[in-house]
């Protein structure tokens, strides 16, 4: 082991110690609090028992005004009745933590399984050149489109509401990403890895599917199965839209303010 290795191990050790000390401070602070607002199920499960009044919420930018309507959803779901190619999508930073390095492999696996599909990918990041190269090497040009960065409200949301059947979410980190609620608000169910945030939502609401972390073939198998069981996609799309309507930006903000006022007047 060289000096560089020793230095790296020492830095990691110090970081772990720092995290543990910060967690101890956090626990002490929560035990002295009258209430807690937890963004996402993992945080809620970890800390809700420490306070007398805990609120679970889900981060989202989606207002009620831009959520999918029943008419829009019905129109989009009709696409599933004609056995047209499944329309897959992803939006986010094209980095490993978001699983962007697996998107092209999933597309390649579906191609090998002879599953007709389209895959629209929005975002930018360090993996973009690698993904472009993979598209060419695997002959995915007709199926995969790298669409770059799109304006959230005027471009991305309208596209997802009208043109996606499934959102492919290979997030490795179990952070409470706003991707989940913003996708559900478009009436699109999510197929993704079983990180803690995704699993937390699925434990409460039937709005998608999960496979084991980094199981590219398992995810491709799941999409292949759903291609032949499209009513299941419809059911979860309806569930996703219903769930998101209960957790719009406005509704979430009001619940958080109401909890603060309740605690204030105790």
**What is the average per-residue pLDDT within 230-247?**
97
Q: What is the pTM of this model?
A: 0.90
The per-residue pLDDT for range 58-87, each reduced to its tens digit, is 989 889 999 999 999 999 999 999 989 999
pLDDT at 90 over 70: yes
**What is the average per-residue pLDDT within 152-162?**
96
170 near 192, Cβ under 8 Å? yes
Q: Which two tokens stand for residue 113?
A: 């399984």
For residue 5, what pLDDT is reported? 64
60, 55, 65: which is closest to 258 by C-alpha? 55
**What is the average per-residue pLDDT within 46-59?**
95
**What is the average per-residue pLDDT within 27-34?**
93
Q: Which residue's structure tokens are 């609090």?
A: 33
The per-residue pLDDT for range 187-226, each reduced to its tens digit, is 999 999 999 999 999 999 999 999 999 999 999 999 999 9
**What is the average per-residue pLDDT within 166-195?**
95
For residue 4, what pLDDT is reported? 52
Query: Which 8-state DSSP code applies to residue 263?
Result: H
Alpha helix (H) residue ranges in the chain: 3-31, 41-47, 70-77, 100-112, 128-137, 157-163, 179-184, 196-204, 216-228, 230-245, 249-264
Percent of the chain exceeding pLDDT 70 equals 98
Give the confidence band of 3 by pLDDT, cuts at 50, 70, 90: very low
For residue 12, what pLDDT is reported? 87
Helices 100-112 and 216-228: crossing angle, nearest 10°?
A: 50
DSSP H or E segment with residue 91: strand 86-91
pLDDT at 1 over 60: no
* Cα distances (Å, whole numbers) of residue 15 to 19, 22, 97, 162, 173: 6, 11, 19, 45, 18
**What is the average per-residue pLDDT within 256-260?**
97
């Amino acid at each position: 082991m060289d000096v560089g290795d020793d230095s790296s191990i020492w830095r990691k050790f110090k970081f772990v110690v720092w995290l543990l000390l910060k967690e101890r401070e956090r626990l002490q602070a929560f035990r002295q609090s009258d209430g807690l607002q937890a963004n996402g199920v993992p945080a809620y499960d970890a800390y809700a028992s420490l306070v007398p009044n805990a609120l679970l919420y889900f981060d989202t930018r989606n207002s009620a005004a831009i959520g999918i309507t029943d008419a829009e959803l019905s129109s989009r779901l009709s696409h599933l009745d004609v056995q047209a190619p499944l329309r897959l999508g992803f939006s986010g930073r094209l980095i490993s933590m978001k699983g962007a390095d697996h998107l092209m492999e999933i597309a390649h696996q579906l191609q090998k399984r002879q599953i007709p599909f389209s895959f629209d990918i929005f975002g930018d990041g360090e993996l973009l050149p690698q993904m472009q190269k993979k598209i060419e090497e695997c002959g995915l040009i007709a199926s995969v489109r790298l669409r770059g960065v799109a304006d959230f409200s005027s471009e991305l949301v309208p596209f997802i509401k009208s043109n996606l059947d499934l959102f492919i979410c290979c997030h490795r980190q179990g952070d409470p990403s706003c991707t989940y609620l913003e996708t559900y608000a478009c009436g699109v169910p999510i197929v993704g890895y079983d990180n803690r945030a995704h699993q937390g939502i699925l434990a409460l609401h039937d709005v998608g599917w999960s496979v084991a972390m980094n199981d590219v073939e398992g995810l491709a198998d799941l999409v292949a199965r759903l291609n032949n069981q499209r009513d299941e996609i419809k059911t979860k799309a309806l569930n996703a839209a219903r769930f998101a309507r209960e957790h719009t930006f406005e509704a979430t903000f009001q619940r958080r303010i109401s909890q603060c006022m309740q605690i204030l007047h105790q």
